[in-house]
Amino acid sequence: MYFPDDIDASSVVSVTVLALYLKELLERNDILQNIWVHGEVSNCKTYPSGHCYFTLKEGEAQIPCVFFKYARLRSSAPDLKNGMAVALNGRVAFYERDGKVQFYAEDARLLGEGALFQRFEQLKARLAAEGLFDAERKRPLPAQPAVIGIVTSTQAAALRDMLRVLRTRYPLVEVILAPSLVQGSEAPASIAAALDLLNEHGEADVIIVGRGGGSVEELWAFNEEVVARAISRSRIPVISGVGHETDFTIADFVADHRASTPTAAATAAVPDIEEWRADVLEKQQVLSDLMRDRLFDVEDQLKHARRDLQRASPRSLIDSRRRQLDDLTERLQIRIQHSISLRNERLRGVALQLHSLSPLLTIARGYAVVRRDADGSVVANVQQVQAGDALTIQVQDGYIPVEVRP
């Protein structure tokens, strides 16, 4: 090969040599042979061969990466997708064919929300396999809780929201707050301890555990295993109310009842006092109706009994006998009356007859009747009287006393 005169031919190296040199240079650097690097996945492409090629970017810099199939399969790396924040473990090498420095990944971990999500999925799968989310484990919530335990932060608006709901819906209830941290690294243990505390105290009929809305990281405590375990070992039914409607936490899956928000949790925990008012009123009504029916029944029975009694009473016999007696008496009277009037008729007839034969009629015509005063006998001939006898002559209108002359 010809080199111009102004170049020292012995100092010129071929591309191959340079590439090999670069390769060696990188490969001899211990740091570069086992390094973690983090950035965002882009231009990701997995070939039918199973090798995955992508670019790891961060700020203005980027480095091409390759994740060979064999490396992927023996690692715990998730399937990489564009936009994922990942940390890669691997080595840096020079790929002479393309003339570029390349990162050869051996393992990959998700970072940030992605990492949280992965942990979430792993814990969820593990607890589900253990049966912690089973429907048979869910206990019914008490219909009429007297005491409600609340696990949340005293500082949070969520507590105020819950108390407002309870005050409005069901002020009969007593609230026992077991304060806890609800975010940060100490929150999971704090929540678990508060749940245990309420169980130790033992008076709550139901427990609400929750906090208001926040970022995924802020809600993260409710995705920790210690919290899940504390909920599952609670002897008191637990209602979870974490974040907003769209937030689902591990606590939600373990809880006996998942409410979408703290407010919804408080609502689910108690009945509405208005319903109670209606219930009391209804019971009162039922009570009155039952009693009224019962009294009607009794009144009815009484009526029947009285009638039966009257039928069975000796008085009715007496009454009937009395009626018979009255009847007989009446008939007797009628008969007597009849016989009397019959006799009267007869008497009248005889009287008339008598009258027509009466000597008075004869006297009236001017005849007289003479009686001896001594014995009242009628003087019909002379031999009956002697001189000096007192006689009485009866004429039409009276009596004339006379004396028989010598």
Partner 1 sequence: MEELTFEEAFAELEAAVAALQDGQMPLEQALQHYQEGMKLAQHCNELLQKAELTVQQLSVDSTGALSIQPLELE
- Using CB under 8 A, list all residues that contact partner 1: 144, 146, 149, 154, 159-160, 163, 166-167, 171-179, 197-198, 200-201, 273, 276-277, 279-281, 283-284, 286-288, 290-291, 294, 297-298
Q: Which is nearer to partner 1, 157 or 368 (CB)?
A: 157
The rounded distance, in Å, linking the Cα atoms of 164 and 108 is 47
Closest distance to partner 1 from the beta carbon of 277 (Å) = 6
Closest distance to partner 1 from the beta carbon of 257 (Å) = 20
Q: Which is nearer to partner 1, 117 or 276 (CB)?
A: 276
Q: Which is nearer to partner 1, 126 or 167 (CB)?
A: 167
The rounded distance, in Å, linking the Cα atoms of 235 and 332 is 98
Q: Which is nearer to partner 1, 291 or 325 (CB)?
A: 291
Closest distance to partner 1 from the beta carbon of 183 (Å) = 20
Closest distance to partner 1 from the beta carbon of 160 (Å) = 7
**Cα torsion for 339, 342, 343, 345, to the nearest 10°?**
160
The rounded distance, in Å, linking the Cα atoms of 116 and 85 is 11
Q: What angle do CA 37, 39, 41 make, to 5 degrees?
A: 120
Q: Which is nearer to partner 1, 298 or 328 (CB)?
A: 298
Q: Which is nearer to partner 1, 166 or 242 (CB)?
A: 166
Using left for φ > 0, alpha for ψ between -120 and 50, and beta otherwise, residue 99 falls in left
Q: What angle do CA 123, 125, 126 make, to 5 degrees?
A: 65
Closest distance to partner 1 from the beta carbon of 173 (Å) = 7
Q: What angle do CA 94, 86, 121 make, to 5 degrees?
A: 140
The rounded distance, in Å, linking the Cα atoms of 391 and 369 is 10
| Percent of the chain that is helix, strand, coil (3-state, to 5) | 50, 20, 30
Q: What is the DSSP code (8-state) at residue 384?
A: G
The rounded distance, in Å, linking the Cα atoms of 249 and 219 is 8
Q: What is the DSSP code (8-state) at residue 135?
A: G
Closest distance to partner 1 from the beta carbon of 201 (Å) = 6
Q: Which residues contact 375 (CB under 8 A, 6 or more apart)?
A: none
Closest distance to partner 1 from the beta carbon of 238 (Å) = 16
Closest distance to partner 1 from the beta carbon of 241 (Å) = 17
Q: Which is nearer to partner 1, 144 or 337 (CB)?
A: 144
Q: In terms of residues, how long is the chain?
A: 406
Q: Which is nearer to partner 1, 58 or 297 (CB)?
A: 297
